[in-house]
Each structure stands twice: as C-alpha cells, then as structure tokens.
A and B are shown apart, each in its own frame.
Chain A
C-alpha cells in the first residue's frame, strides 16, 4: 500500500482535573491512507471527538498531549501555530456535529464559503463567489445561486449540513474530518447527507475520517472501522471483519444492539451498565465490568491490541475464543 496520509502514534490526551488527570484518549495509534474512508465508532465520551480535535490541534488549551500525529510528512503536534493554521481548512478540513450553530448566523451562506476560500487563496471575490455557487451545486443545494445569498436560518438542517460540507471541501482538502455529521439530523436526511459525503469523496478523492456513534451508518459508507471505548481503541478492521468476524465482545455487543428489521427478537439487545469513569478506570480491560465473556485474567492485565489478520486487530484477551465460538456456530 502507499504511504499513509495520516499516521497517529501513541496519541494520549489528558485533562487535568481536581481529582487527577482524566485520560480522554489513551495510547491510540492508527493510519489513514489517501482517499480512504475510516470510521471511528464509539459511545459518548469514548474519546473519538477528542482524537479528532487533537489532530486539528483544536483541543482545549488545558489538555496534555503526548504521542505524534504525522500528516503528509509533518508532525502536527510540533509545528508552530502559523504552520498549523495554514494546514487547517486547506489540507485538513472539519465538519461539525450541529449545523445549526456551526454556521455564522449574520452572514449569508455564500459569503461564508467565500470567506473559507479566501482565508487560504488570494483570489478575487467574484471568483470565490463563483466557486461557492459551484460547490453548493456539487453538494446538492438546489438553486445554488439564489440559496448562496440566503442566511443560515433560511436553510433546513440537512441543507445547512450540505453547506458545511461545501465549505469544508472548498479548498480541496486531503483529509476531511466529519465529527458526527448526521447526529443532529432526521434519519431520512441522514441518509441524504451521507450520500453527499460519499459523492464528494468520489468527486474529490479526499480521505475521510468519519466519527459517529451509529454503527448502522458506518456499514454503507466506510472502508475501515475503528471502535473506541473508554479512551482506547478496542478493535480495528475492514467493514466485513468488524461486522462478520468481530473478535471483540464490545464490538459484538454494539452490533447486537442494532435493531434488526427481519429478526424475531422481542427485545432490543442493550449493553448492561454504563461506560466507566475515566478518572478511575477499572483495573485491566476497561470493558470488563460490562462484558459477558470476562474472565479473571481480564481484571489483572489490560489487553494489548493484538494483530489478527491484514488490517484486523482487537484488544481482547479472549479474541481467539471468539473466533472459535464464531466458527462453531452456524450462522
């Protein structure tokens, strides 16, 4: 394979608090290749958003970061602020969760895209305006010329998220980080926005890091999936590896709790208990207290991320047991 566009090594992000250091991201390493769609899945507070913000260096100033984030040959954690600013929006762009508040209410949508273009490019207003209208057209905003002059409050939620996507891709970024881009939207609109992201990815060839808590959303859109739990990477692999050959009880529990339309289940499966406190994480494996497969060893040592096959790796002492269990059950 080619050289990775983004290479995160041992990234750890901690926040000092009165009762000690809270580790929001612990020892996370992964790679992202040009043009690839990587999905990061996890519950609220699992550290997926903080990982993204740390890559963009938009984390709160109080955060303590170790590790390295290699992007296109540079370590984003050590370059100076001006250099980082030049990368933001041009090489790495970001889409936020809530399109209601991520657009500036006092400027027309077109003007905001023009602004995004002109931060990085010395082009005339007219040229930028023309590009803004083309971009709105690309992301499927109808009547882009007219809609460009409208304000965010005149857009619906889905249209706003399209506008955000248009703004994010205005400088042809190599990497697009989408932080829960569809969480604030209706289910039907979610599908449309994912479609737009998919089309944009095809049209521009950008790599996408898609952060979501919705496994169902991942299946149709990502090349690779990465599951996070309690600040750690639990499992990583291709779509098929994760959905059909999962070697991690947490991932399996997540998959089991996706509502099944054809299944005859009477109850929706759920994972008992709550995610652990990051201040006093349980000993050993963070998922142990909620895990149905936990054994004594799980409390004694935190499992390492074990390589299984190709891109597949899992953090579980019983990964092998899961494999044999899966082989034993006809599916």
Chain B
C-alpha cells in the first residue's frame, strides 16, 4: 500500500472510481448478491447474439406484416377487382392482382399466415413427440430402444408424398390436419438426434449421481437429462419450422396440400406459375417470402442454441 501511495498521480480519486466501476461491472456480470435466474442469463446472451436478433426481428416483422397488412389494405382476400386483372404492383394493389382481380398483397399475407401457422404447429408437435420418444429410447435402451428405432426406420422409408396424397384424398386437407400429418412424418429426425445425445448423456456421472440421490427414471429424464438437450432441440425445432414450411409449400404447389379457398405461399406460387413469362414477379414474391421466413427462423435457432448453453461465453463477449 505504501508503494502505491507514493505514486505521483493522486491515488484516492482514481482508485475509488475504479472500485465503483468494478462494483458496477460485478452487477452487470451477475456477481452481485442477487442471483440471476437461468432464464435471465439466457435472455442476456440471446440479445447479444447479432444474427439471432436479426432473425427474431425479421420474423416478427414478417409476421406483423402478414397479420396487420390486410387490415391496412383496402381489399379483402376474396374481393374481385375485375377492372384491374393481372395488374403489376400499383399504389392500390401493392403486389398486383391475379387473373380474377384479387389483391395479391392480401392473398400473400393470408397465405403467409397459414404457412407460418402450419410450420409452427407441425414443428411443435413433431418436436414434442420426437423428443420424448428419443429420450425414452436413449435412456432405457435395450428392447424399448429397439422398438422405437424400428418404428422410426419404418416411418423413414415410407414415401412422404404418397402418404400425404392418400391422406389428402381421404380426409380432405384443412390446415390442422395437414400439420398433424406433417408432424407424424417429421418427428423421426429429432427423435434420432435426441436419442443419440441422451445415449451419451446417460453415461455421464451426473446421471449416476441423480440416481444415487434417489431420483426416479422420469425425474432423471425430464429434469436432469432433457435440460441438457434443449440447445439441440432449439436448433432442430427451428430447422423443422423451415422444413415444414417448404414441405407445405411443395405439397400445396402439387395440389396435395392446402386447397382453395384457403391459400398458402406454396399455393400462390402454383397459381402464378402459368404466367411466369409475363409476370415473373408474381412467382417471386411468395417464393421470396418462403425463403425469408426460413432464413429468419434458422438464424433464430442459432442464437437460441448459444443462449441456452450456460457454458457459452457470448454474454461477456
């Protein structure tokens, strides 16, 4: 202390201000007395992830546009402006009109709403089911694993397009039925991924420690193992949302998905394909929407994975 005191620069002032700054930094880094919850730490990491913020903001913007846009427009989804058929973008019709004069902006927004809804519902269902199946298979192994793995293999070899077309013919295709069938076909991938991760996690000593502490199998799976898988699941669910939206668009394009009067982004591309030489923009707008949604969702997944990993350092970077 004596050495420090002899230094020429006034020691008291800077020292105490540094102490204040350190205390403030401690507060920022969660080193204060008040503990921060896991959720709060994850949120802080998330908002420092640039790409994730771009993805989240982009997705919110697109969703807001899909839901609010039609209100701002003068047209309804089934209004026929017969005098302005096949018009390009104008002041009244922002995205132009189709063959029977329906406003394409409103239709794109309606179609986008449905695509997003199918995407999230199907991805959510597939993830929930796939995660549980994968975790059970990986944790218990042996016969349980063999049965679930064989079911997964069976579903993987079933050609999705045939199942979907048969289903569409038999039961019709409202959006939620489509979402359920897509979920039933798509849970397998996440189940296999979760199974693999759980297989390696269950050999970790903390699982043995949890058993030694008297936790039941259910408690170990849901409270000890699955929280370790959340980062993987977050990425998978976002990839799945993208996959579902693309798949739904493909099916609608082929006439196996959403049927008029409901519309989706894929159906809009299909409607516009006959006119692609005269009006390429009409194919491009819903197509670009699909790409943008999938892109934003994937960015979001990346950020979620980093945010949900407590070992991630990005909070301080």
Binding site for B on A (CB under 8 A): 56, 58, 85-90, 93-94, 96-98, 101-108, 110-111, 115-116, 119-120, 145-146, 148-149, 151, 153, 164, 167
Contacts and interface: CB of A to CB of B under 8 A. Distances in A.
Report which residue of A85, A88, A98, A106 has the largest number of chain B beta carbons within 10 angstroms of its beta carbon: A106
B162 interface: no
A116 B224 CA distance: 11
Given A101-B204, A104-B224, A120 B35 contact: no
A85 B214 contact: yes
Contacts of B216: 85
Given A98-B205, A101-B206, A107 B214 contact: no
B38 A104 contact: no
Given A106-B227, A107-B227, A146 B33 contact: yes
A115 to B, nearest CB: 7
B211 interface: yes
A88 B209 contact: no
Contacts of A56: 212
B146 interface: no
A106 B227 CA distance: 7
Contacts of A119: 213-215, 219
Contacts of B274: none
A101 B35 CA distance: 24
A195 B80 CA distance: 85
A85 B32 CA distance: 38
- Chain B's interface size range is 20 to 34
A108 B38 contact: yes
Nearest to A146: B33
B212 A88 contact: yes
Contacts of A164: 209
Report which residue of B30, B33, B209, B216 has the largest number of chain A beta carbons within 10 angstroms of its beta carbon: B209
14 contacts: A58-B211, A85-B216, A96-B208, A97-B205, A98-B205, A101-B206, A102-B205, A103-B206, A104-B227, A105-B311, A106-B230, A108-B35, A116-B213, A146-B32
Given A90-B214, A105-B311, 6 more contacts: A58-B212, A87-B214, A106-B230, A108-B35, A115-B213, A116-B213
A149 B212 CA distance: 23
B212 A94 contact: yes
Contacts of A94: 209, 212
A278 B144 CA distance: 33
B38 A107 contact: yes
Contact of B228 (A98, A106, A108): A106
Given A87-B214, A104-B206, A151 B310 contact: yes
A89 B33 contact: no
B50 interface: no
B40 to A, nearest CB: 10
Nearest to A56: B212
A85 B218 CA distance: 13
Nearest to B219: A119
Contact of B310 (A93, A105, A120): A105
Report which residue of B205, B219, B223 has the largest number of chain A beta carbons within 10 angstroms of its beta carbon: B205
Report which residue of A56, A90, A101 has the largest number of chain B beta carbons within 10 angstroms of its beta carbon: A101
A86 B310 contact: no
A16 to B, nearest CB: 16
Contacts of A105: 206, 228, 310-311
B214 A106 contact: no
Contacts of B209: 94, 96, 102-103, 164, 167
Interface string B29-62: 0111101101000000000000000000000000
A182 to B, nearest CB: 15
B34 to A, nearest CB: 9
Given A96-B205, A96-B209, A145-B33, A104 B214 contact: no
